[in-house]
Amino acid sequence: MAIDYDKLLNWPFPEVVQTYTSRDSILYALGVGLNMDPLDEAQLRFTYEDAMQALPTMGVVLATPGFWVKDPDTGVDWVKVLHGEQGLRLHRPLPAEATVVATNKVTEIVDKGEGKGALLLQERVVVDQATGEALATLYSTTFARGDGGFGGPTEGARPVHALPEREPDTVCDLPTLPQAALIYRLSGDYNPLHADPKVAAGGGFKAPILHGLCTFGVAGHAILRSYCDYDPTRFKAMSLRFSSPVYPGETIRTEMWRDGEVVSFRSRVVERDVVVLNNGRAEVA
């Protein structure tokens, strides 16, 4: 069944309501690797309930619509989809605990052609239910590898952020735990690819891989550490492209270039010298 452009563009997403606590905020921070050094008090503010704060990148796991493309009525070959891009814009610092409400929509579908796949561009707005204030807007691109050639528009993809050609201004190496994926999945993504060795082998991987959004969080940690002095009020936005998977236990090196309030970045696995996040752009105060 091919993609029906109008039907998918107007997909009826239900409103998503989620209540999270400081425990969930702590679990997310531990999942992306905070407090490898338990004596680092700057990081402890995200992992200890005394004067608790939420990591800015936790916005990506709040009130998600789930794996909605698996619904047969979407016409999407869900087995062949990949998470291509992710963006986050914060309108105010995330509370450590809250009840949030999210609305989701498909904003564009780009037909790359027969055998070349399609791009599904999505937007999610997360609102604090108690105050009615918007907390974050999330942007993502799903690469539907098996769905090109359905007759849709061929333009509309998000522009690629070009990285500076000079040497990085700052480099930050952050290790990941061998059990990182098993911790991170408790923030809501229970895909067995990240836990079951047999499923991972069936997907062509030597071991369960780290969630792409966990790698996103590690890069966000590098930016928060390098340019925000661990102050979440200074972290405004972040977007990137996923380019290769990470295995838990590997070290992620984030290379950063600062130009005013814009930080360009990419991340690579040190042990294999493979770029895993590319064309990154963040905004800091």
Point out the residues that are catalytic: 189, 194, 209, 212
- Short-list 102, 42, 98, CA closest to 232: 42
**Cβ within 8 Å of residue 176, ≥6 positions away:** 33, 210, 214, 218, 246, 248, 249, 250, 251, 252
Q: Which helix (H) or strand (E) is 217 found in, with range?
A: helix 212-227
- Grouping H, G, I as helix, E, B as strand and the rest as coil, residue 44 is helix
| φ, ψ at 161 (rounded to 5°) | -80, 120
Q: How many CA atoms lie within 13 A of 70 on its CB side?
A: 6
A 10 A CB-CB count for 87 gives 18
